[in-house]
Amino acid sequence: MAGTRAAIRYAKAVLDLAQTQNTAQAVNEDMLLVAKSVNDNKDLKEMLQSAVIKSSDKKNALLKVFPNANPMLSGLLDILVKNKRVNILGDVATKYVELFEKAQNIEVAYVTTAVELTDDLKNKVLAKVKELTSAKKIEIKNTVDESIIGGFILRVGDNQYNASIANQLNTLKREFTLN
């Protein structure tokens, strides 16, 4: 919990600085890359969490992993190293992206389906999300999960709508076991 709060503070500080320098979009692209890299790469995540590796070595490794990054990322790494918090870099990047999207009034709709979304289905989901929210821009992130069998699960903000076949089967199962 303390790491999450610290990540939010660092992310807010970087976003504020990036907005004053008109580089918020470029920094967001770097933070998307950092968040994805840390989440997808087990070795990178373990390196960041390691108490054996010196913070300066972690910083040097990260600068080699992200050589074309905005100078703002290098500054963030300097501060995280100085404060012995480089282990929360992935969380800072994730929180930055969330704060940036919120500042740009971008609503992210997470759609879980059994198969990849077609363009027609994407348009229908976009129309439904626009109906439910006041966001000017809507971004759809599709996750394929074959275990839902069919249908979809839509999550926008704190709201979730589960129209999956697996959910309907579980509901029927509960009704039959209660009777």
Provide block-wise average pLDDT over 10 residues at a time, the chain (179 residues): 82 96 95 94 93 91 91 93 93 94 87 90 83 80 90 86 90 86
**What's the confidence (pLDDT) of residue 159?**
84
Q: What is the pTM of this model?
A: 0.75
Which among 6, 10, 3 has a CA at the least distance from the CA of 97?
Answer: 10
122 near 139, Cβ under 8 Å? Answer: no
Question: What's the rounded Cα separation, in Å, for the pair 138 and 177?
Answer: 41
| Domain boundaries defined on the chain | 2-102, 106-178
**What's the confidence (pLDDT) of residue 3?**
66
Question: What's the rounded Cα separation, in Å, for the pair 100 and 93?
Answer: 10
Largest CA distance in the chain: 64
User: 2-102 maps to which CATH number?
Assistant: 1.10.520.20
CA angle at residue 122 from 118 to 123, to 5 degrees? 120
